[in-house]
Structure 1
Amino acid sequence: MIASMTGYGKGQAEVDGLCLTVEIKTVNHRYGDVTVKSPRFLFAFENDIKKRVGEVLKRGKIDLFISQEAVSERGLAPALNRPLAAAYVKVFEEMRETFGLGGELSLALLASQKDVVTLREGDLDETALRQCLERALGTALDAVVKMRRAEGEATLVDMAERLRLLEEMLAEVEARAPQVPGEWLTKLEARLAKLKNDLDLDPQRLGQELAIYADRCDISEELTRFKSHLVQFRALFSQDEAVGRQMDFLVQELNREVNTMGSKSNDAELTRKVVAMKAELEKIREQVQNIE
């Protein structure tokens, strides 16, 4: 089943008083780009996190946010920055003596100074930490995969309908194309008939010109390749792996063939059909940009 590159998932786990929340947000991207924002005590796990995410989400701009939901002895705990607190006390005493100020230095004033009281990492058990992280990450990945597949399924329905329209238009082009050389000859003969008194027509030369024109506007090869590309494109709908890049390549090839049909057609009706086919292909291309 194809999957979109747009999705969101959230997971939370608690192990031995440590509670972690993992949120994953993904959008379309040419490659797989994973960014992790986490508390400092999880920095050592970032490579493992990226590897785990990369195994599940093959493509997309993937932003992963990890937060600690509970403060405990196993997580972050407040700590006194003694050297900084002593420096503040010294500065306040100097200010009082220098400027002749009164009043006592209060605990509230000292504690309100920046970085006097900080949050430090508590004693974290690595086994419990890893277990908690894996549970939360696994839940978040399951949720984002579910959302990406649901959106991918909706995209598949839309693309399947557009492929059906393309096949209908292709059949019309295929039916129209053989008529073009004959109609061109009829028009040419009508014009030459009006000038027959001033021209010495050579039937053999006229036949040669018709053959050249018919070869120039022959789009049978383009029609065959276009059909083949459509078959390959539909086959990707049932694949389990990431198929976005393959779809992108096939859309480029389909555009190449339809552009060649347009340049060869030299017929107003065929040109209108080719323009309509290009419009549908552009809509498919936009959808493919968000396929994993």
Structure 2
Amino acid sequence: MTGFARAERQAGSLRVRIELKSVNGRGLDMRLRLAPGLDAVEIPLRQMLSKALSRGSVNLVATLDRSGASGSVRVNETTLAAVLAALDDLGRRFEAAPPRLDGILALPGVLEVDDRAGGIDEDERSALILDCAAEAIERLKVARLQEGALIAPVLFDQLDTIAVLVGRAETHPSRGREVIQARLREQLAALGDDTGLPPDRLAQEALLLATKADIREELDRLRAHIAAARKLIAEGGPAGRRLDFLAQEFNREANTLCSKANAVDLTAIGLDLKAVIDQLREQVQNIE
């Protein structure tokens, strides 16, 4: 989700520049910094961003260059009067230093720029800004796709590592009923059990322990998650949210495997799984 893009447009004496910067984010967080007098394009710009992007913290900066323009700046007397009245009311209620003139003039709507003298009216200016923003957004999408192309091999490697660990867990000898039965005998002997547990009862107890320690379902679900994640990455397109969900499911199955493990080596495999899954989750945060 990381990327940077810039686009410029010019009409008459007016030059528009749009800069976009995107960093990782769980959802889509848009922050716009617009030049004075561009309030009318804020909602359309937000709509364009939300339609083109699904995740990331996105900053948009729109600037205007009127160098050489014959446009004029005027004070909106109605807005200024309302601001001064509000300041006067606050001044009577609270003790505070009076506001500076530059601070008052910087408030939205107090100063208005008239570009018509420069050969462009407000509608044309808005269209120019939105056209420029559309180009910048497309460039940002390309930059983010390039980052995703670099991350995809890393994700595939991590999924391959998870698949190897799942295979090791499946073939681990501690899962066999005979091994569990032998361990049960050792535990009874260590407790000083000399009552001579009947073989059929010993087999029943071993079967019960084997059932409780069975991780077949967890391994099957892990394999299913691996296949789903590989398919999402291969298909391309926005997949970050779904991969994030799969990473959570990976972690859930790894936790259950660790809790069911009846051997130190099997627990170690589960911990290795959790470590790789955490790395996968970190990378997934970089994907739209």
Q: TM-score, normalised by structure 1?
A: 0.79
Among residues 6, 10, 14, which one is paired with 1:14 in the alignment? 10
2:31 aligned with 1:35: yes
| Per-residue deviation, 1:150 | 1.2
Report the equivalent of 2:201: 205
Conserved 8 A contact 1:11-1:23 = yes
Report the equivalent of 2:94: none
Rounded to whole Å, the distance in 2 between the matches of 1:228 and 1:274 is 17
1:1-292 aligned at under 5 Å gives the runs 5-73=1-69, 77=72, 120-122=112-114, 123=116, 124-176=120-172, 179-190=175-186, 198-292=194-288
Rounded to whole Å, the distance in 2 between the matches of 1:125 and 1:159 is 50
Conserved 8 A contact 1:244-1:291 = yes
1:198-224 deviation digits (Å, cap 9, x = unpaired): 323211211111110110111111111
| Per-residue deviation, 1:163 | 0.4
Q: Which runs of 5+ in 2 are unaligned?
A: 77-100
Conserved 8 A contact 1:15-1:131 = no
Greater mean deviation of Cα atoms: 191-200 or 235-244: 191-200
Q: Secondary structure at the match of 2:38?
A: helix
Aligned length: 257
Conserved 8 A contact 1:18-1:74 = no
**Higher-RCO chain (CA-CA 8 Å, sequence separation at least 6):** 1
Rounded to whole Å, the distance in 2 between the matches of 1:49 and 1:229 is 37
Conserved 8 A contact 1:177-1:219 = no
1:156-181 deviation digits (Å, cap 9, x = unpaired): 11111000111111111111156443
Rounded to whole Å, the distance in 1 between the matches of 2:267 and 2:153 is 28
CA RMSD of aligned residues (A): 2.9
Rounded to whole Å, the distance in 2 between the matches of 1:20 and 1:275 is 54
Structure 1 residues 212 and 245: alpha-carbon distance in aligned structure 2, compared to 1, 3 A threshold: same
Rounded to whole Å, the distance in 2 between the matches of 1:197 and 1:177 is 26
Rounded to whole Å, the distance in 1 between the matches of 2:57 and 2:44 is 18
Conserved 8 A contact 1:177-1:270 = no
Rounded to whole Å, the distance in 2 between the matches of 1:125 and 1:146 is 32
Q: Which amino acid aligns with 2:243?
A: M
Q: Which runs of 5+ in 1 are unaligned?
A: 82-112
Conserved 8 A contact 1:180-1:267 = no
Report the equivalent of 1:92: none
Conserved 8 A contact 1:16-1:128 = no
Conserved 8 A contact 1:32-1:58 = yes
Report the equivalent of 1:91: none
Report the equivalent of 2:90: none
1:53-84 deviation digits (Å, cap 9, x = unpaired): 21111222211100112334465x46699xxx
Rounded to whole Å, the distance in 2 between the matches of 1:190 and 1:240 is 53
Q: Secondary structure at the match of 2:37?
A: helix
Conserved 8 A contact 1:19-1:132 = no
Report the equivalent of 1:99: none
Q: Secondary structure at the match of 1:40?
A: coil
Rounded to whole Å, the distance in 2 between the matches of 1:195 and 1:228 is 42
Rounded to whole Å, the distance in 2 between the matches of 1:240 and 1:234 is 10
Q: Which amino acid aligns with 2:132?
A: A
Q: Secondary structure at the match of 1:188?
A: helix
Report the equivalent of 2:89: none
Rounded to whole Å, the distance in 1 between the matches of 2:191 and 2:69 is 103
